[in-house]
Structure 1
Amino acid sequence: MSGKMLGLLRSTSFFALLVASPAIAQETSGSAAIKSEAEPTPQQDNQSNAASGASADPVTGAAAEEIIVTGYRAALGSAQEMKRRSDAIVDAIVSEDIGKLPDNNAAEAISRVVGVQVLRYNDEAGVVLVRGLPDVGTTFNGREFFTAEDRVLHLQDFPAGVAAGLEVYKSGTSDLIEPGLAGLINLRSRRPFDVKDTEIAGEVRGSYNDQAKAYDPAGNLLLTKRWDTGIGEIGALVNFSYVRTTYRNADRYADSAVISPAGFNAEDTADDLTVTTPGVGQFRFPANAGNFYEKGIRHRPAINGTIQWRPTPDLEIYAEGLWQAYRGKVLRDGFNVNFERRDINGVAPTLSNVVLVEGEPLKAASFTKTGGYVPEFFRSTQDDKTDTYQAALGFKWNSGRATLSGDFAYTNSKYEADEDSVDAQLATAPTINVDWDVKGSAIFDLGDFDKMNPANYVWRGFYQRHFVTKGDGVQGRLDLELETDSAWLPKLQFGVRASDRTALMQNNNRYAYTAGLRMPLASLPTGELELINDGFRGDPQRFQNWLMPSRSAIRGNVEALRQLSYASVQQLTVLFPNDGGIRDAVTKFATEEIPFDPLNGFTAKEASYAMYGQGKYEFDLGGISADGTFGVRVVNTDGEYSGYSRVTDANGVAQIVPQISRQNYLDVLPSIQTRIRFSPQFQMRLAFNQTRTRPSFGQLNPSLNITRNSPGPDGSPPQYAAFGSGGNPNLKPLTSDNYDATLEYYFSKNGSATLAVFYRDLEGFISNYTRDVMDPDYGRIQINRPENAGKGRIKGAEASFQTFFDFLPGLLSGFGAQANVTYLDGTNALPTILGEGARQVRITGLSKWAYNLTGFYEKGPLSARLSYNHRSSYINSYNRNSNEQQYAGEITRGISRLDFSASYEAFKGITIVGNVSNILAEPFNNYRYYNETQYFPRDLRIEGRYFSLGVRFKM
């Protein structure tokens, strides 16, 4: 992180999945009927083709009359049976499994599935990667679900009682809603027909975060009942959930921009830096270093409910609704030291005591800076909230040889954030002693600076932002399944689906830069200054704390700060009459409400229409049976995206230009799956399918910010006619041809060993790049925007094993183990630089190795689980060095995680549960290559451990 760091990350939700119950899914053709504690639930878009428990022993083939699904064994067996019988290549985790994992949310739980990885921030898992790719389709009960303006379901947002199972489809069938390049994740909810009669279940839990030093409550209550009435069987379910979490993260960083004293060919050159250390010559170092702390409280209330009605044995009708919400209070503190800028009198800094890294020429290890620009810092306060609603109606009608089903839903989601930030700087530039790589990042001190003296702090500015993003959509589908008289083609499936989405983002903000008035920070209408809390745990950072107004003082005096800012920028117009930014601030701060800014927003309308046809086949060859599916899905996407661009000429005169773009494209996506069963225990799968992933609405935003350059003093044209940034309405969907093969051996009801190999031939990864383009209107410009990368490929392998050691005597038979490992090798071509060819690099976000090791114990009333997760290093991004015309990368180091959970059934239906999450508390750590072989560390972020204790009940 560098500079003011006011590009803030949206807070994401986080919850604990609390209630355990069996996952029940619809059976596939050609498999024995299953009886369990509950009857099958109808699935959306035919996405679940598995059953809870097992219909037949995979070793003996004998039919099982009834299976009661409880405990780790049954949960593992249920997920294993789903994998074994599914039409697609799928891995799953069921709710009994999630309820007993030592995890805070579903995204954490799914990270233990083979081939799945997650990205964590602020003590919770967020982005989910499947086989190293973030381009994952997501559905809720087989239907599209989204938050605000995006396209995806956020697993960390879902409340406890919603999840009956999580299904990771790594190869798609034609009846699935279009998966992403990496596959599709479906979250399946509980329904009242999943239980026999009446059930009351839930959990009350308290947790403690050792870094935030806070205690938080959580609770979940699920009520469900079934009735036999004169109009048929009726079931109702309602679930209430509330989770509060408090987090605090501490980050020390070095800038990604690497500079050098004047006259050296680096990315950037600092002007006239004085170096007094004799004999060191030229060298490189990051332009900034600093601290960044974030603390927040997340509240997540949620309610979901379902009514099912079965008027006849052949017809089922259901209605379901979900409200999930987020309420957050966030506090961010940043302190930044700049090592290149001049002071207000134009005097550049002096570097002394320079020590270079031994064995690495031209790279600074440490030095002392005097003079130059003063350190800057800020305190940002934010209140934000999300409300997401989905209502759905559906039916399933079986007429004998034909089954017709349908599902129709409306979704509405809105996220809103209000931010108020006080900026400050030191009154004078202290002596800065910096070491660039100590335990993963930079550390520094301010010499003899007195941090407790309010006179050392000056008000620098006031920033306000009101951010809104929202979306809504309607969708509907109809599916028809026909049984035929053909032995080799027993089923045909057809379906149609339509959806219509809108999305909007608006980011209004204003900033009053007041440093020129030299007003004491203590003079603000926010009362006495306080020493901020840092959140470090035994870290070597030497400077950690400084004075700022309290959060409550800032939030409680927003209007007074706005009025003071307005008066201040009016005063500054007299001192700096030619400063256009100050004049703009006078206009924006004249009213209490932040003015609407057309340049900081976009709207989108997008409709998609899909149809598919699919056949299920089966045949025998010399005692070896085979079955599978083949089909095609055809999807038309029609979108309109609008925004505004700003074009500023060489004289600083800006023109606002409306922008509207359209996209309409047709995708034809074939798929074929084959399962070859050599015996009841041993089978092989082969699969091929094509996938497309649409760009996000924000990436398709047609708005650009273009600033033209002036000619040189002699009238010569500049190197770049203009600089620009923005979205890219010309982005194409990401495309992939996917090949998969698996070997699967099932040696018991909850024991298996599987091996998978896969290959992805892909094109069009989207990422932000700064590169040169020839624009028909402006000529050669340098622009930063989302771009499609070139062709690429991913190849990899997965292996997994799970079992309970039932052969051991007595209490030892309660032990079990689960292990999986994923290997990935993937590259793609970066966008070309003018005059150069495309360059193949590692795909961003892809770890070469990831593995999970889990040990279980389950005997009588006691259950316990210890889980270890590791993923190796991965590339965050690529950046082109402006002078050296090459790409350099930012890399995150590998990280491990250890979690523990245990439960004890003290009485029938009453279980005491305890979890410890993130036991190792390994820090997040990344580093930036500034040429092909050398790098500086960047962020070192320390996160908290969670301890929780609760009581689960079921009656």
Structure 2
Amino acid sequence: MKHVLLLASAAPMALFAAFASTPALAQTATPQEQQQAVQPDAGVDEQAPVAQERATRSAQGRSPGTQATENLGDDSNAQVADEGRSPEEIVVTGYRASLGSAQAIKRNSDAILDAIVAQDIGKLPDNTAAESLARVTGVQVNRFSDEVSQVLVRGLPDVATTFNGRDIFTAELRRSQLQDFPAGALAGLEVYKSGTADLLEPGLAGLINVRSRRPFDFTEKFVLAGGIRGTYNDQNKKYDPLGNVLVSARGDTPLGEVGVLLNASYQQAHYRNAVRWADGFVTNPSAGTTIVPASVGRDFKIPAAVGVYNDSGKRWRPAVNASVQWKPAGNLELYYDFLYQGYRGDIANDWFRAPLLDNNPTLSNIVLVDGKPDQVESLTKTGGFRPEAYRSTQHGYTNTYQAAGGAKWDIGPAHLSTDLAYTRSEYGSDEWSFDTAWTAAPQVDVDFFVKGGSSFALPGFDAENPANYKWRGYYESIYRVQGKGWQWRGDLDLDTNVSLFPKLQFGARWTDREASLERGNRYAYTETLGLTLAQTPAQPLGLTQNVFRGDQGFTSWLMPTRAGVAGNAEALRQFSYDSLVKIVAANPNDQGYRDALARFATPNIQLNPQDSFFAEEQTYAFYGQTKYEFDVGSLRVDGLIGARVVNTVGKYSGISSVFFDGVRVSEPRVTKANYVDILPNVSLRFRPDDKLQVRFGFTMTRTKPEFGQLNPALRIDQNTAPITGPILPDTRFPLALQGRPVAYGSGGNPDLQPLTSKNYDASVEYYFSQTASITAAAFYRDLNGFINNFTTRTIDPVYGLIEISRPENSGKGRIKGFEVGAQTFFDFLPGLLSGFGVQANVTYLKGENRFPANLFLAATGSATPAPFVKIPGLSKWTYNTALFYEKGVISTRLSLNNRTAFLNNQFLPTSDFYDGEGTQNIERLDFSFNYTPIKQITLTFDAANILAKPFNNYRQYAQDRSYPRDIREEGRYYGIGARFRF
């Protein structure tokens, strides 16, 4: 389908939508404070009251959709001029101003939300949008590779993302990777926990809007601002640069007022994490395993292996956004916005595995845990299967573009807006992995409980001797996903002049999305040749870097450098091809080797059609909403009543395949979808006075499965892995499904249904100054169809035992909890003490859902309803505390983030205990310091992850029985820099 971009006909920037007749409720700055704010040398604490007042007035009376797409401060020029003040001399900066602005947004919104506002140009509280969100009430995050990799709102990952109110996505996903938004490009973030009809359909967890700056945000005619910063990682001893620069200009022309803004940022980070891990497969030793002394018995369970994983790399993110605004008349604005954000990553990950149970080893020196005769404290393993390792080198990239244009037009009581946007995003990854094996099985001394993880040593093993290693194989892969789409939105907000229903809102939205995936790989298994590492092109060799803190046992082994693998990819491909020629000559009837040889016969990796999918989807949405308000004595009552109707039409295609006995049979599969969602919303707010407000809300939401989850293809491959001993029992499955699977299957699930939820919210908010408040909220989610990946086994009448992993809809579920937050500056204290301030919030969550009924029946044989189990990824408690000091030219913050233990997954229950993996309590302490010697320059110092507490996983396998799964040590980061604004 072809489309034409018409700037005057685009998806809405949402306008000044709600209740214009509502009087401002915020407190105002005193004349003395106003006078102080215009002094050229006024400190940030003196400027803050006026800045907060401007933000409060600008946020007042806006609907969530407007607030998400319209930046604060647009009308502040006129407001400030009315008070006889010079707008150019008011600088919105400092913690007071950012907290005050965020509080104003929360206070005046019709939706229940929390916000973060950049304290200055280029300065959110953290390096990326995702990191800053970890400090918001009700938000939890998962971290990997020294950065936030996933954001959860009230324990759930199903979050819609928008950029200036428009849908934005990364590659084939329905949401954006928020860590790709550098702080230097952003003005603020809003986390919507309850939706309204004029908002883009939020996910079950809500909606996160990322807000950038636009030229009409600034009162000055010209602004040049930005910053530069350097960081140091104490774990890998690397230095990295970060920076941003913003140029904005606005002025009157014969054609009307015009504003132009350009903002560019760059962010770079080296990282290296160190992980000690134990296998998640916990089982009894087989009958062939020798136990010394035999008196210990054989009833204990241990992890099947232990190992080390070093996650390292360099990533850098360039970003550019631009905006043009034009007001040919006082009631008409046209605009154009552009965004580019990129990601580049060079990765070198090292992995080592020492088997403990494979190939009938001898286990000796066994020390059982006190009071737990079925659990082992430490042991020695000799014989059995040899260890193995790899170095995986990768290069990854993301390119995301969004271009949009639109118009806003006020005609008397009618406010019209329209916005059209096009988004294109791609992600690609190329991998080159060099695999090694030990020439013999050394002794392994293991202690399963050392400072939260498993530690082991290989006594007598010379890690630097190349003769102790052999080449095990070489792997290459390519991975390409992309998405593109158009979106249009038009809105009408009508001021009715009817006191009971002062505003009506109507709108329509259309989207056209495409998403696709292509990938391919090839592997040369060469261990049978017995080649030494020195005989391969992967040179030079060296010990892997040890970045563990303290003595952790065996941590380093011999490997090629990253350049020796990724930099020698062509030579390794040819060497692998030549090696496979020899192996095929010795094994002419082995189809697996012959297929591998064919894949390495070409310079480029062939894409595998069986691993691809393609999706196209259109949505047609319409909404209507009314604002109501009335007084009951001195009690003001207002709220929204509305509904959004969304029709989704989709087509999803892939190729299913079955591979057995060297023959692959493939079949294209296509599924279609066409369904309608009706999403009502009702809210009610009581305001007894200008400080207190009580809210109630009801909404219905639905979250669509990811495009990859809807892939109708299922791939089944025969299990051709070598047998290294007796088949160990797997406690995840019942007795009837034990044994060695004949085949493994994986794929999407075209029968997945959207996750639906009925959401109930209530909050009490008390604002006792411009930067001081205490708020509390309670919520309940009645949900159905939560999507998780499940691994199941089934007996196929043709092939036998097959193990399949695919996403499934769970049954009914529920989440409930509450949030409490407070913030204040101690202005009532004398002198320097008045610069102190605190902010704190705590969130309690409890959530559970049923397993899919069909899988529960297959696993247990019971027709009773599946039990309620905990929802993975949900921490019971999350809290944030921050201590501020801001006075004159100094501004500091010390903040602590804590998240209690949570589950990572749930296996299907086979008994009355929890069988799965979880993560222990996570705690993080950060510090920042700002010094402003002159108004235009701020010098900064910050330290992140000061405590450097390790990340701990555990594997529970029986009632009150668990082993450490892995323990990950992450880096501390120190930064020093400067920000400027002229």
Give the alignment's TM-score, normalised by structure 2: 0.89
| Residue 469 (structure 1) aligned to one of 475, 478, 481 | 481
Task: Determine helix, strand or coil for the equivalent of 1:567.
Answer: helix
Give the equivalent residue in structure 2 for 1:858: 886
Give the equivalent residue in structure 2 for 1:172: 195
- Judge which range, 544-553 or 231-240, deviates more: 544-553
Q: Measure how far apart 1:77 and its partner are.
A: 1.1
| C-alpha separation in 1, matches of 2:919 and 2:124 | 26
Q: In 2, are the aligned partners of 1:755 and 1:797 still within 8 Å (CA)?
A: yes
Give the equivalent residue in structure 1 for 2:974: 947
| C-alpha separation in 1, matches of 2:411 and 2:474 | 67
| Residue 493 (structure 2) aligned to one of 475, 481, 488 | 481
| Residue 142 (structure 1) aligned to one of 165, 170, 191 | 165
How many residues are treated as equivalent by the alignment?
Answer: 905
Paired AA for residue 842 in structure 1: K
Q: Could you tell me which runs of 5 or more consecutive residues in structure 2 were left unpaired when the two chains were aligned.
A: 1-14, 27-52, 77-81, 721-735
Paired AA for residue 751 in structure 2: N
Give the equivalent residue in structure 2 for 1:828: 849
| Residue 284 (structure 2) aligned to one of 248, 254, 260 | 260
Paired AA for residue 748 in structure 1: S
| C-alpha separation in 2, matches of 1:106 and 1:628 | 30
| C-alpha separation in 2, matches of 1:392 and 1:247 | 35
| C-alpha separation in 2, matches of 1:454 and 1:722 | 37
Q: 1:54 to 1:224 in 2, by over 3 A?
A: closer
| C-alpha separation in 2, matches of 1:25 and 1:74 | 23
| Residue 31 (structure 1) aligned to one of 7, 17, 22 | 22
Matches within 5 A, 1:406-555: 406-538=418-550, 540-555=551-566
Give the equivalent residue in structure 2 for 1:374: 386
| C-alpha separation in 2, matches of 1:778 and 1:641 | 28
Q: Measure how far apart 1:748 and its partner are.
A: 0.6
Deviation per CA, 1:809-860: give whole Å up to 9, x if none: 0111111111111111111112232223312111111100011111111110
- Judge which range, 640-649 or 333-342, deviates more: 640-649
Q: 1:928 to 1:451 in 2, by over 3 A?
A: same
| C-alpha separation in 2, matches of 1:884 and 1:726 | 28
| Residue 904 (structure 1) aligned to one of 925, 931, 936 | 931
Paired AA for residue 414 in structure 1: E
Paired AA for residue 245 in structure 1: A
Deviation per CA, 1:198-221: give whole Å up to 9, x if none: 100000111101012001111110
Matches within 5 A, 1:713-728: 724-728=745-749
Give the equivalent residue in structure 2 for 1:784: 805
Q: Measure how far apart 1:36 and its partner are.
A: 3.6
Paired AA for residue 294 in structure 2: P
| Residue 899 (structure 2) aligned to one of 847, 871, 886 | 871
Matches within 5 A, 1:451-850: 451-538=463-550, 540-649=551-660, 651=661, 653-706=663-716, 724-772=745-793, 782-832=803-853, 833-834=856-857, 835-836=861-862, 837-850=865-878
Paired AA for residue 826 in structure 2: F
Q: In 1, are the aligned partners of 2:164 and 2:209 still within 8 Å (CA)?
A: yes
Q: 1:707 to 1:204 in 2, by over 3 A?
A: closer
| C-alpha separation in 1, matches of 2:934 and 2:148 | 34
Paired AA for residue 305 in structure 2: N
Q: In 2, are the aligned partners of 1:801 and 1:820 still within 8 Å (CA)?
A: yes
Give the equivalent residue in structure 2 for 1:5: none
Paired AA for residue 344 in structure 2: R
Q: Measure how far apart 1:228 and its partner are.
A: 0.1
2:324 equivalent to 1:333:
no
Q: Measure how far apart 1:70 and its partner are.
A: 3.0
Q: Measure how far apart 1:898 and its partner are.
A: 0.5
Matches within 5 A, 1:101-500: 103-196=126-219, 197-262=221-286, 272-282=288-298, 283-342=300-359, 348-500=360-512
| C-alpha separation in 1, matches of 2:509 and 2:327 | 25
Deviation per CA, 1:188-244: give whole Å up to 9, x if none: 110000012110000011110101200111111000000101110000000111111
| C-alpha separation in 1, matches of 2:237 and 2:74 | 45
Task: Determine helix, strand or coil for the equivalent of 1:896.
Answer: strand
Q: Measure how far apart 1:928 and its partner are.
A: 0.8
Give the equivalent residue in structure 1 for 2:66: 46
Paired AA for residue 447 in structure 1: P
| C-alpha separation in 1, matches of 2:918 and 2:322 | 44
Q: 1:380 to 1:145 in 2, by over 3 A?
A: same
- Judge which range, 44-53 or 623-632, deviates more: 44-53
Identity value in percent = 53
Q: Measure how far apart 1:69 and its partner are.
A: 3.3
Task: Determine helix, strand or coil for the equivalent of 1:748.
Answer: coil
Q: Measure how far apart 1:37 and its partner are.
A: 8.7
| C-alpha separation in 1, matches of 2:19 and 2:69 | 5
Paired AA for residue 702 in structure 2: R
| C-alpha separation in 2, matches of 1:679 and 1:513 | 74
Q: In 2, are the aligned partners of 1:122 and 1:247 still within 8 Å (CA)?
A: yes
Q: Measure how far apart 1:913 and its partner are.
A: 0.8
> For the aligned residues, what is the CA RMSD?
2.6
Q: In 1, are the aligned partners of 2:64 and 2:196 still within 8 Å (CA)?
A: no
Paired AA for residue 159 in structure 1: P
| C-alpha separation in 1, matches of 2:430 and 2:822 | 48
Paired AA for residue 646 in structure 2: V
| Residue 940 (structure 2) aligned to one of 901, 908, 913 | 913
Q: Measure how far apart 1:341 and its partner are.
A: 2.1
| C-alpha separation in 2, matches of 1:866 and 1:44 | 31
Paired AA for residue 682 in structure 2: I
Q: Could you tell me which runs of 5 or more consecutive residues in structure 1 were left unpaired when the two chains were aligned.
A: 1-23, 57-61, 264-271, 343-347, 711-716
| C-alpha separation in 2, matches of 1:877 and 1:725 | 17
- Judge which range, 603-612 or 33-42, deviates more: 33-42
| C-alpha separation in 1, matches of 2:742 and 2:145 | 41
Q: In 2, are the aligned partners of 1:45 and 1:479 still within 8 Å (CA)?
A: no
Q: In 2, are the aligned partners of 1:694 and 1:733 still within 8 Å (CA)?
A: yes
Q: In 2, are the aligned partners of 1:25 and 1:48 still within 8 Å (CA)?
A: no
| C-alpha separation in 2, matches of 1:194 and 1:776 | 67
Paired AA for residue 176 in structure 1: L
- Judge which range, 63-72 or 701-710, deviates more: 63-72
Give the equivalent residue in structure 1 for 2:728: none
Deviation per CA, 1:715-757: give whole Å up to 9, x if none: xx99899753211111111111000011111111111111111
| C-alpha separation in 1, matches of 2:803 and 2:388 | 29
Q: Measure how far apart 1:159 and its partner are.
A: 2.8
Q: 1:674 to 1:376 in 2, by over 3 A?
A: same
- Judge which range, 282-291 or 349-358, deviates more: 349-358
Paired AA for residue 752 in structure 2: L
Q: In 2, are the aligned partners of 1:50 and 1:83 still within 8 Å (CA)?
A: no
Task: Determine helix, strand or coil for the equivalent of 2:753.
Answer: coil
Q: Measure how far apart 1:654 and its partner are.
A: 2.5
Give the equivalent residue in structure 1 for 2:34: none
| C-alpha separation in 1, matches of 2:843 and 2:409 | 41
Paired AA for residue 897 in structure 1: R
Q: Measure how far apart 1:626 and its partner are.
A: 0.6
| C-alpha separation in 1, matches of 2:143 and 2:386 | 33
Q: In 2, are the aligned partners of 1:44 and 1:141 still within 8 Å (CA)?
A: no
Q: 1:211 to 1:779 in 2, by over 3 A?
A: closer
Q: 1:43 to 1:775 in 2, by over 3 A?
A: farther
